[in-house]
Amino acid sequence: MSYIHHEQAEKEKLELEKAVAKKAERMRAAYSALKKSEREGTVQYLNEKRNWYVVR
């Protein structure tokens, strides 16, 4: 592996880690909003499987 290839791989790894962290943060925020709405009774499920929902 050349130095340039290694440097590019490190850069791509960092970008991937950032993307994963961003996705995880969005999922945490959505889950928190869902739990808060469930406590307040304002959650509305869009189908019987309860995997799509609207939070008000």
Is pLDDT at 54 greater than 80 in this prediction?
no
Can you give the pLDDT at residue 14? Answer: 95
* More confidently predicted of 50 and 17: 17
pLDDT above 60 for 1: no
Burial class (CB in 10 A: 0-12, 13-18, 19+), 34: middle
Q: Is 70 exceeded by the pLDDT of residue 8?
A: yes
Segment 12-46, tens digit of pLDDT: 999 999 999 999 999 999 889 888 888 888 877 77
pLDDT of residue 3: 74
Q: Parse the chain into domains and list their residue ranges.
A: 3-55
